[in-house]
Structure 1
Amino acid sequence: MPPPLAGVRVIELAAIGPAPFCGMMLADHGAEVIRIDRPGGTDPLEQDQGRDVMLRSRRSLTLDLKQPESIAIVLRLVETADGFLEGFRPGVAERLGLGPEVLLQRNPALVYARMTGWGQSGPLSDKAGHDLNYISLNGCLHALGPEDAPPLPPLNLIGDYGGGGMMLAFGFVTALLAARGSGVGRVIDCSMSDGAGAMMAAMWSLKHNGVWDAPRGRNLLDGGAPFYACYACADGRFVAIGAMEEKFYRRLVDGLGLAADPLFAAQHDRGRWSEMKARLAAIFASRPRAEWTGRLAHLDCCYTEVLTMDEAPHHEHNRARGNFVTADGMIQPRPAPRFLGTETVEPRMWKMDSDRDAILRELGIE
């Protein structure tokens, strides 16, 4: 079978962070994504965008959107498209003449996907920010990090890519399903702050049940529990322990030779968690990671090595699943999720303006 989004055409205005991640997700699953690039590129760090994994598998057309003839080309493309993706601050697309009202008049079934930090409305909607800001007002950031230090930035995985780009991709597909049934398009107001807040649903459940009630770094999933934490080994490498369920905890304790130790008799005695954690830290620090892997990995006790980006592609599980692929000499994660019995999209790296002539010919434009 062809990829699930084969036949879907999306027009993407070049942006940074979550919007291109959404475009990558759609392209990874078969959508034809035409990225309208700006002259000179969009990377704020002035990196080589030809090495940007998130831009993979797109068609590229460079246009100066300050020019009326460029706007006219975008409008022609929108008439042929199923979706339109932009990641500007509120009001910018309207000032360009590419707001939802204009585009939906051209194409009533269009899915108009908008990606912002704070949303299209609200007192912060026109304010600047980055991932760290967008996860700071919904209880997410405060919960991250050790108890004796400020909250810890979680890369930019939660706001930009989880609450932002991935949430927008989900919204796009649901709106596309609705449009194909009704012939009526929708405007998606996707906010990184909103999305990251929604991802906290499980933590709110724990809070309402009295499980998440201690300061940061002392709860079940924030590193407070000795059986759900990372530990340093003698060689400076790390292991991750996720033995929450009793059967996995008992296997871990047995594997470490602590089955008869009264300190580890009561898994959920929070009053002893700090002491248990200190003991485990000392134990893991006594041997190199490879020894712990040989001793614990086969016990099915939720033990894993903490691999670096350089190590990850070579792990036997990742190799067996083909979890990393190479495009133009660059290693990168393969598209996910996978659909069994379905053709996969082989990633290809982006090249600026690589499809200008072909796209303009398709539109009948010189």
Structure 2
Amino acid sequence: MNSTDGAPGPLQGLRVLELAGIGPVPFAGMMLADMGADVIRLDRVGRGAHAADVDELRHTSINLRGKRSLSVDVTTPQGRDVVLRVIETCDVVLEGMRPGVAERLGLGPDDCMARRPDLIYGRMTGWGQTGPYAQVAGHDINYLALAGVLEGIGRPDSPPTPPLALVGDFGGGAMFLLFGVMAALHEVTSSGRGQVVDAAMTEGAALLNTMNYSMSAAGAGTTERGEHFLSGAAPHYDAYRCSDGHWISIAANEPQFYAELRDALGLDGKEWDDQHDRALWAWRKVQLDTLFGSATREQWCERLEGRAICFSPVLDMHEAAEHPQSLERQSFLSREGVLQPAPAPRLSRTPARVGARPPKIGEHTIDLLTELGFGPESVRQWEIDGVIGSRADSD
């Protein structure tokens, strides 16, 4: 179960500085905060173009939950020195800017590790820190395209289908950034030396595709879009539209599940015997389309749930939160009216915790500077000069 009572998580004592950005780096920081790390977000002074930079919308920025906000103008010498002083107290820095930007700000790996030699400096970009594409602009769809992943997603008669930025930005990016950071944190316990984690979304997405490389090498898979049995080519592994416009999913890959599917649906003819006869797949799809389109999603749930078929209804985000499985495990929560997934995965002894609400811009600036020993007169002058931003600036 997730903890909501302030109990320490497994990463208690770990301090992370996250340079402000959007998407996968804040998501990585959120996961660390969920596990108990003290994550400090370095916010811009003033307001930017994103919801995460606007106080009125901060409560909707789920990726910021559980963090503290430090607002500093790092383009000033005083601001840069303040941030470097904070970094002296940190174990990890996370940043997702284009290669070279952090260096130009005076906050690159060399600058930071000069202050903290055992620092783990986690960087994430689309293409990586080096190579001919390092400075090329891009987004999730571009990274998947170059990784050889996008071409395989979608139907044969449709263009490649972008998978909601989940595979590149968050799967290939944030998750591999976290994996690299945790590996480096383990290594530093024996060497005492920090290092840079260079996480490229393109490489992470390609690595997620490892199974398909194995299947292709063994002659068991295909690289043609929509022809892979896991991409919807197989009639027994697909989503089907019901009479009410909702959908259900079937994944009866194994022989025992396929046999159960046939029994549940009354598919008795010999044309259903050989599960892997591709010559019959298109015909079978037409039959299943018609069959599943004859009843509502709820009716199919009543008929098929509980049978060994690998069946589930296709739910939207709000329906997912209300499903009995989600309710039993408290897989979702609502805070200030914002529905959001609960922390994952579950740890038995030191569970993740649902941290504080997303902070206002600069909400913790004064507290953090006080912790670092800066005098009140210096802090007040920096506020006057616009070097730092505090919660008072947002009110």
Q: TM-score, normalised by structure 1?
A: 0.97
Greater relative contact order, per chain length (Cα 8 Å cut-off, separation 6+): 2
1:236: which partner in 2? 245
Q: How does 1:4-153 map to 2 (within 5 A)?
A: 4-38=10-44, 39-41=46-48, 43=50, 48-153=57-162
> Does residue 336 of the first structure (1) align with residue 344 of the second (2)?
yes
> Does residue 266 of the first structure (1) align with residue 268 of the second (2)?
no
2:357: which partner in 1? 349
Whether contact under 8 Å (1:328, 1:348) holds in the other structure is no
RMSD: 1.4
Q: How many residue pairs were aligned?
A: 365
Give per-residue Cα distances to partners, 1:87-109, cap 9 Å, x unaligned: 11000011011111111111111
* 2:16 match: secondary structure: strand
Letter paired with 1:180:
T
**Offset of residue 218 of structure 1:** 1.7
Distance in 2 of aligned mates of 1:114 and 1:133? 19
1:296: which partner in 2? 304
Structure 1 residues 246 and 5: CA distance shift in structure 2, 3 A? same
**Offset of residue 148 of structure 1:** 0.2
Unaligned 5+ residue runs, structure 1? none
Whether contact under 8 Å (1:16, 1:42) holds in the other structure is no
Whether contact under 8 Å (1:136, 1:142) holds in the other structure is yes
Distance in 2 of aligned mates of 1:262 and 1:347? 57
**Offset of residue 281 of structure 1:** 0.9
Letter paired with 2:330:
G
**Offset of residue 213 of structure 1:** 2.1
Give per-residue Cα distances to partners, 1:25-67, cap 9 Å, x unaligned: 1111111000001131452798723311111110001111211
* 1:347 match: secondary structure: coil
Structure 1 residues 45 and 28: CA distance shift in structure 2, 3 A? closer
Structure 1 residues 156 and 348: CA distance shift in structure 2, 3 A? same
Give per-residue Cα distances to partners, 1:181-230, cap 9 Å, x unaligned: 22111100101111101111011111111122262112111110111100
Pick from 186, 211, 216: which aligns with 1:202? 211
Whether contact under 8 Å (1:15, 1:42) holds in the other structure is no
Whether contact under 8 Å (1:43, 1:49) holds in the other structure is no
2:234: which partner in 1? 225
Whether contact under 8 Å (1:172, 1:188) holds in the other structure is yes
Higher mean Cα deviation, 61-70 or 91-100? 61-70
2:255: which partner in 1? 246
Distance in 1 of aligned mates of 2:351 and 2:278? 50
Pick from 297, 318, 333: which aligns with 2:326? 318
Distance in 1 of aligned mates of 2:52 and 2:330? 31
Letter paired with 1:272:
L
Distance in 1 of aligned mates of 2:369 and 2:97? 25
Distance in 2 of aligned mates of 1:101 and 1:215? 45
Letter paired with 2:197:
I
**Offset of residue 247 of structure 1:** 0.6
Distance in 1 of aligned mates of 2:186 and 2:52? 37
Distance in 2 of aligned mates of 1:166 and 1:49? 24
Distance in 1 of aligned mates of 2:301 and 2:351? 36
Whether contact under 8 Å (2:172, 2:208) holds in the other structure is yes
* 1:357 match: secondary structure: helix
Whether contact under 8 Å (1:21, 1:166) holds in the other structure is no
Distance in 2 of aligned mates of 1:143 and 1:227? 19
**Offset of residue 329 of structure 1:** 2.5
Structure 1 residues 261 and 139: CA distance shift in structure 2, 3 A? same
**Offset of residue 270 of structure 1:** 1.0
Whether contact under 8 Å (2:344, 2:352) holds in the other structure is no
Q: TM-score, normalised by structure 2?
A: 0.90
Letter paired with 1:114:
R
Letter paired with 1:311:
E
Distance in 2 of aligned mates of 1:263 and 1:135? 38
Give per-residue Cα distances to partners, 1:259-298, cap 9 Å, x unaligned: x222211101111111111111110001001111111111
* 1:312 match: secondary structure: helix
Distance in 2 of aligned mates of 1:163 and 1:250? 36
* 1:299 match: secondary structure: coil
Unaligned 5+ residue runs, structure 2? 1-6, 380-395
Structure 1 residues 196 and 230: CA distance shift in structure 2, 3 A? same
Letter paired with 2:367:
A
Distance in 2 of aligned mates of 1:346 and 1:244? 37
Whether contact under 8 Å (1:14, 1:36) holds in the other structure is yes
Letter paired with 1:349:
R
